Amino acid sequence: MMLNAWVLGLVTGQTALLFILTIATANAWGIRKHWDFESISEQQYGLEKRTYLISTIMKFTLMTQLLMLLLLVISADELSRLLPGAMCATGTFGANAYGFPLFWLEVGCFFLFFVWLVMNQLDNKSPIYPLIKEKYSLLITIYPLVGLKLILLVLFATNLNPGVITSCCGSVFSESSSSLGGAIAGISPKIILPIFSGIVFVIGILMIKETVKTFSVSKLFAWVEIIVWSAFFVVAVMTIISFMSTYIYQLPTHKCPFCLLKGEYYSIGIPIYLGLLMATGAGISKGTLRCYQNSQLLGDELVHFHKKLKFLALAGIILFITFGFGPFLLYYHQTGLLI
């Protein structure tokens, strides 16, 4: 399958990213090691020039990489046509042991890229590079993950065998399936809805708390925020599978989280996932920035950025809830029944 156009596109994109990231990481290492903003030496001026170049290249590279997640899912959906048994991206990812780890790693990288871009943007707003060491440390952390992503992608693609029958989303996300997908699909709305509401409530409380107490809350609060937003993502995905999908497909047995993206369901998955990724990315970034709230160097810009991220997270949640619960409300309004 390595010569398939979709696979070639993905591998080329990942290889290009790894190549650029290798150069950037090597430079990031040097910048972190020798950076001394107070110095007026030739070396320091050289580093300042290099950081401008590196951060600009990485900004545009990672912005395009945010779309890589979408490309991976679309590719998997297209590849499902070549795999017997597969009906959508679920079947393709489940065709071998590397598919879902690759997908989840891509999701993880999406959020890391998101946080890096936010940090970079904030750093560039100041004339004194206040987050330079932090943002390059994050870049160095991202590097091995991108390498692993390429390895998994190649393993995934080379192990896709059109001669082997794979499972369709109907069986993977079946309540009778013993897989994780099956277990999630089997969760009763009476359990998942209170959990989802609870976590949205907690997020609401956190937002109100920071509004009331302005920006000066403890560093522990930052970690709480990162954990809560990560949990929100997990719970939201579970809610999509176990509850929302039922009313979008209007079938109690179809729980696939990928089929939502298909045109036959009006691609409703796009606003749902866009809202989810936007809210989670902004929320995690918001928590991360809070770790630097005591930095005098960032000044008002940090507060300003935090407000922007809060707005983005709120808009993401509203988008997610509107399109995620809209079909349920519509169905209930039209039939007066629950599935």
Partner 1 sequence: MTDIMIESIEATKTYNPGKHNEVTPVRSASFQIEKGSVAVLSGPSGSGKTTLLSMIGCQVKPSSGEIILDGKRISKLPEKFANEFKREHIGFIFQHFQLIPELSVLDNITLPLLPTGVSRQARQERADLLLSRMDLADRKKFRVKELSGGEQQRVAICRALINGCSLLLADEPTAHLDSQLTSEFIQVMKDLKELGFTIVIASHNAAITDSPIVDQKIEMKDGEILS
**Residues interacting with partner 1, by CB under 8 A?**
37, 40-42, 45, 48-49, 52, 124, 127-129
For 330-339, letters b (16+ CB in 10 Å) and e give ebeeeeeeee
Residue whose CB is less far from partner 1, 35 or 331: 35
CB of 192 to partner 1, least distance (A): 48
Kindly tell me which of 132 and 168 has the beta carbon lying closer to partner 1. 132
Question: What is each CA distance from 52 to 24, 34, 64, in whole angstroms?
Answer: 11, 16, 19
In the complex, least distance from residue 133 CB atom to partner 1, rounded to whole angstroms: 16
CB of 60 to partner 1, least distance (A): 16
- Amino acid (1-letter code) at residue 26: A
Residues in the chain, how many? Answer: 339
Q: Which of 270, 266, 244 is nearest to 255 (CA)?
A: 244
Nearer to partner 1, 127 or 163 (CB): 127
Nearest CB to partner 1, comparing residues 39 and 161:
39
Taking the least distance from each CB to partner 1, the nearer of 103 and 129 is 129
CB 124, min distance to partner 1, A: 7
SS3 label, residue 47 = helix
**219: Cα separation from own chain's centroid:** 24
Structure tokens at 127: 């004339």
Where residue 336 falls (left for φ over 0; alpha for ψ -120 to 50; beta otherwise) is: left
Closest CA to 143 of 34, 28, 13, 49: 28
262 contacts: CB under 8 Å, gap ≥ 6:
77, 88, 269
Q: How far is the CB of 230 from partner 1 (least distance, A)?
A: 33
Q: Of 54 and 240, which CB lies nearer to partner 1 in the complex structure?
A: 54
| Nearest distance, CB of residue 49 and partner 1, angstroms | 8
Complex with partner 1: residue 37 or 332, whichever CB lies closer: 37
Smallest gap from Cβ 222 to partner 1, in A, equals 27
Min separation Cβ 127 and partner 1, Å: 4
| Beta-carbon count within 10 A of 299 CB | 12
Task: Give the residue with the Cβ less far from partner 1, 33 or 49.
Answer: 49
Show the tokens assigned to 140.
């160095």
Residue 297 burial (C-beta neighbours within 10 Å; 0-12, 13-18, 19+): middle
CA dist list (Å): 87 to 25, 168, 325: 40, 5, 25
